[in-house]
Amino acid sequence: MQARPHPVVARPGIERISPNDLTTLATDRGPVPTNIGAVLVMDGGGEGAGDGGAELDLAAVRSLLGRRVCRVPRLRQVLETVPIGAGRPVWVDDAAFAIERHVTGRVAHDETELLRVAADLACTRLPRDRPLWAACWVSGLPDGRGALILVIHHVLTDGLGGLAVLAELCDPSDDDDRAGSGAASRDLAPVARPSSHTLRADAGHDRLVALGHAWGSARAAVRGVRELMVARGGASASTGGRGARREGVRADRRGLRLAARTSLNRPTGSRRRLSTVEVALADVREAAHAHGCTVNDLLLSAIGGAVGGVLAQRGEHPDELVVSVPVSVRRSTTADRLGNDTGVAPVAVPVSAHPGERLAVVAARTSRQRAAGSKGASAVPLGVVFRLLGRMGLFQVFIDHQRLVHTFVTNVRGPSATLHFAGRRVARVVPFALTPGNVGVCFDVLSYAGRLVVTTVADPDVVPEQDLLTQLVGEQITALTRPS
C-alpha cells in the first residue's frame, strides 16, 4: 500500500531535545539501537469486537492509530540537526507523515513466536528521517487473540513517558475526558522549520539562562556523583571468610570500585531474545511489606540470586553483582511532556547469601541511597561524561569494556486498571528495553492490572541459558513471597 502523507496544527515555539535526551542520542551506538517498547496481548474478538464492531485487522489498527497519534505530538515529529552555534537538535513536524510507514503486520502462532517478532522489531533501527517509532499488529495467536507491539526510540521518552503514550493510544475509559472529544481526529497543519537566525537567537537565550543557573547545575552535578557513590557503597554482605579477591566489587589502586569480571559481561551482538515470568502483584507487595522493604528491593534480590545461580553453573562465584537501577526525577508525566529525566543508582546485590539475608542487605543499601536525597541527580555528571565520550568516538569502546555494572533492572509501575484497544481487553503487557555494550542480560519489570511481568532481555550468544535464568527469577521471587 502506498504511504499517504497525512496533514499535520501549528504548535508555536521551538522544541529542543533536553540535555538528557541529547545524552541518549549521543550514546546510541553499537549493534543494537536504544529502543524501548511493550507488547500488548489482547483477548480474542467476539461479537462486537474491534473499534465500532469491525473486525480488528491491520487496516483497522492503522486507521485507529492514525487518529490517535495526534494526541502524542512526538509521534508525528522528526528530530532535526541545527547549524553550528544554534543549540541542541529540535523537534519539527513531519509534513510527510503517513501511518503506513510506521504500522506493519505479522503473524505469530504462539507467545514464543510473538516475543521473537517483538525482539526483531526492537533490534531494527528506526529511520532518522521519520518519527522515531514503529508498531506491529500481530495476528494468528491462539483463541483469536492479537497483539500490538510498540517500539519507541529512547530519545523520545523514558519508561514513564512510554506509559503516557500507551494511555493515549488505548481506548479512553468511561471517565476519561478524551471520550467523545474530537482531539483524536482533528487535522493538524505542519509547522515550518525555524530559521537559522531564530535558532541561534533561541540558543543564545538558552545559554544566558544556563549561565544564570550555573551554580545550581554545579550543585546538581555534585549530588549526582554522591548518588552514584552512595548507591555503590555502604554495607556489604558477609563473604563467609573468603578473601577480597572473590568479592564482587573490589577497590583498585586508585580507590575506584570495579565490578568483578563475569562471562555475562562481554561485548554483545545485534540479536536479543525475550522471555518472561509473571506473578501476582499482591503477593510481591505483601512479601515486601512483611520484610520491611520495597517491591523493587525484592525484585533486585530475586534477580541477583537468579543471575548468581547461572554464574554458579558456569563455575563463577562472585560475592556481589552490581545492578544499575534507573531513578526517575518525576513520578508521572503526560503525552505532551515526554523526554528523559532519569539518573541511575548502582546497587551491589550479594549473591551467596540466603534469599532473606540477601534481601535484608539490599533493603539496607537502597534505604541509605534514598536517604541521601539526590534522586535522579546522577543524570547530570553521567550525561557530561557520556556526551564527551560520544563526541570523541570512544563511547562504544567504553561500554564494551566497562566494569561499573553487571546488569540493569528497570521497574515501572503501570496502570492498575485494565486497558482496552479497539474494544478488546489488553490481557497482558510485556515491557522491553535494549541495552548496548557488554551487558549480556537486563531485566524490565512492569506492573499492570494486578500482575507483575519480569522480562529477561538477553543476547542469546552471551546467555544461551536464558530460559533457565528466567525460571530462576521466578523461583527466587517465590522463595521470597512464599517461604517454606
- CA–CA distances in Å: residue 261 to residues 182, 236, 246, 358: 56, 18, 10, 21
Q: Which one has a higher pLDDT value, 55 or 121? A: 121
| Position 54 pLDDT exceeds 70 | no
Q: Which one has a higher pLDDT value, 276 or 22? A: 276
Nearest of 109, 135, 143, 161 to residue 39 by alpha carbon:
135
| Residue labelled with grid coordinates 539518573 | 343
**Cβ-contact 28, 434 below 8 angstroms:** no
Element (H, E) at 149: strand 146-153
| Position 37 pLDDT exceeds 90 | yes
Burial 19-39 (b: 16+ CB within 10 A, else e): bbbbbbbbbbbbbbbbbbbbb
- Quote the percentage of the chain above a pLDDT of 90: 51
| Position 264 pLDDT exceeds 80 | yes
Least confident segment among 161-175, 366-380, 401-415, 452-466: 366-380
pLDDT-derived band at 382, boundaries 50, 70, 90: low
Mean local confidence (pLDDT), 237-243: 39
What local confidence, expressed as pLDDT, does residue 467 receive?
97
What local confidence, expressed as pLDDT, does residue 24 receive?
80
Cell readout for 477 is 521471587
The pairs formed by 471-474 with CB atoms below 8 angstroms and a separation of 24 or more are 471/277, 472/305, 472/306, 472/309, 472/310, 473/277, 473/302, 473/303, 473/306, 473/443, 474/277, 474/279
pLDDT in tens, 60-97: 999 999 999 999 999 999 988 777 777 678 888 898 89
| Position 254 pLDDT exceeds 60 | no
**Cβ-contact 418, 425 below 8 angstroms:** yes
pLDDT-derived band at 209, boundaries 50, 70, 90: low
Alpha carbon 30 to chain centroid, angstroms: 17
pLDDT in tens, 284-332: 999 999 999 999 999 999 999 999 999 999 999 998 999 999 887 767 7
| Position 53 pLDDT exceeds 50 | no
Mean local confidence (pLDDT), 16-39: 86
pLDDT-derived band at 135, boundaries 50, 70, 90: very high
Mean local confidence (pLDDT), 240-251: 39
What local confidence, expressed as pLDDT, does residue 439 receive?
95
pLDDT in tens, 390-449: 677 777 787 888 888 999 999 999 999 999 999 999 999 999 999 889 999 999 999 999
What local confidence, expressed as pLDDT, does residue 446 receive?
97
Mean pLDDT for the chain? Answer: 81
Least confident segment among 93-97, 136-140, 454-458: 93-97
Q: Which one has a higher pLDDT value, 112 or 88? A: 112
pLDDT in tens, 165-182: 999 999 987 655 554 333
Residue 301, classed as helix, strand or coil, is helix
Residue 286, classed as helix, strand or coil, is helix
What local confidence, expressed as pLDDT, does residue 250 receive?
44
Q: Which one has a higher pLDDT value, 368 or 358? A: 358
**Cβ-contact 424, 56 below 8 angstroms:** yes
pLDDT-derived band at 47, boundaries 50, 70, 90: very low
**Structural domains for the chain:** 15-176+195-207 (3.30.559.10), 216-408+449-481 (3.30.559)
